[in-house]
Structures are given as structure tokens and as C-alpha cells.
Amino acid sequence: MTVNLGFWIDAAGGINSVDWAVSQIVSWGQVNGWSVFDFFTVGNEAINDGYVTIPQLIQKIASIKTILNNAGWTGQITTSEPPATFIAHPELCTQSVIDFVGVNPHAYFNANLYAYQAGEYVFSQTQQVAQICAKSAFITETGYPHKGNVFGNNVPSPENQVIALQSIMQYTGGNATILTTYDDYWKSPGPHGIEQYFGMINLVQDSS
């Protein structure tokens, strides 16, 4: 088992909020080795959330990659954003040192889609970003809520979560990170009342 580890950028600390975590990982890796890590992600939707600017993130990714390389890490590094961020700002992937593109496509936020169309949407958005960036793209986060507000044709429910996730698995061949194992009650519900309700542990338990 390997770990895809993320360095979280928050609103309070801005672009430098990752520095402590990076130093801790470097200290750990130099003692224990790097084989447990698959890749590192610098920021998760930090541009989408308005926490940092594109130039700030590009510079920070380069800095962290250099720090990790100097400490013995020879693997990959990326950042994760919704497809719309890379489509609007391709320089984030074309002018940065990321090794591949981390995309977070969520069909729920497209009001024109039904749950059964989630997989096709997720796959097509990922392909579009890969083409724009001229780099491989990996789905670092996707899923479907089982509870929350109706948004267009999207109706959060346990039944539609199953339909959406089956569609996503079909179109991606399982090459995606599904959000998430358990419901995240620590999160704010968000404007659509869904952010806490992507947990799919019940689906796994029901199929076992």
C-alpha cells in the first residue's frame, strides 16, 4: 500500500500554510525512506477557493519539488483543481513543474446532468484537461452525494449515489479516487448542503 499525500493550503495561512507539513514529511522521509509515498499533491482546489494566485501556486510547487528532490524523493508531484480551473488557466499545468494533472470533476455541479451521466462527464472532463495541458491527468477526487439539495437534474440520494458511482467506475475503469469513505461532518454543508454527504462506506459494506 502506498500513500498519495496532500499538502493542504488554507485561507488563513495562504501559500505558506504548507511549509510546516513539508518540513515534517522531509524529516520523516530522510529517516524512513520514501517508498510509502506514491505522489505528493500541493494544494487541493486552492485556486478555485481563492486562497492563492496562479503565480503563487506555480512558484510554491517548484519550491516544494526542489526541497523533496534534495531530500531524496524522486517521484511525482501535482496539484488538484476542478477541470474548469485548468481550462481557464492552462498555465497552471503548462508552466508549472507538475508531473501530471490532478483533476476533481464532479458531475453534481453540472445542473444539466442526471446521475447516470456522471461517468461520461467525469471521463470527458478529464480527457479535455489532459489535452489542454499536454500531460496525463489523474482523477484525484470525484464522487456523488447521497444527501443534500436538488441541483437541476441532480438529486442526491443513496440510490443516485450508487448509479453515479457505477457509471464513474465504468467510464474510468476504476482509475479514480472516490470521495469519500465516510461522511465528513467536520465540513461545512456548503451552499448545496452536500459537502458532508459523499461517504460511501455503506455501499462497500452492503456489497461485502
**φ/ψ (deg, to 5) at 35:** -65, -20
Q: Using 50, 70 and 90 to split pLDDT, how confident is the model at 207?
A: low
Whole-model pTM?
0.94
- pLDDT at residue 204, rounded to an integer: 79
- pLDDT at residue 4, rounded to an integer: 94
Strand 3-7 versus strand 37-44 pairing type: parallel
Residues 56-79 have pLDDT tens digits of 999 999 999 999 999 999 999 999
Element (H, E) at 103: strand 101-103
Q: Using 50, 70 and 90 to split pLDDT, how confident is the model at 1?
A: confident
Report the range of poorest mean pLDDT among 2-6, 100-104, 107-111: 2-6
Q: Using 50, 70 and 90 to split pLDDT, how confident is the model at 206?
A: low
First-residue to last-residue Cα distance in the chain: 21
Q: What is the mean pLDDT of residues 165-193?
A: 96
Which of the residues 120, 141, 159, 195 is marked catalytic? Answer: 141
HSE toward the beta carbon, residue 124, CA cutoff 13 A:
7
- pLDDT at residue 70, rounded to an integer: 98
Q: Using 50, 70 and 90 to split pLDDT, how confident is the model at 183?
A: very high
Residue 208 has pLDDT above 60, yes or no: no
Q: What is the mean pLDDT of residues 151-166?
A: 98
- pLDDT at residue 201, rounded to an integer: 93
Q: Residue 45 catalytic? A: no
Residues 17-34 have pLDDT tens digits of 999 999 999 999 999 999
Per-residue b or e along 67-83, where b marks 16 or more CB atoms closer than 10 Å to that residue's CB:
ebeebebeebbbbbbbb
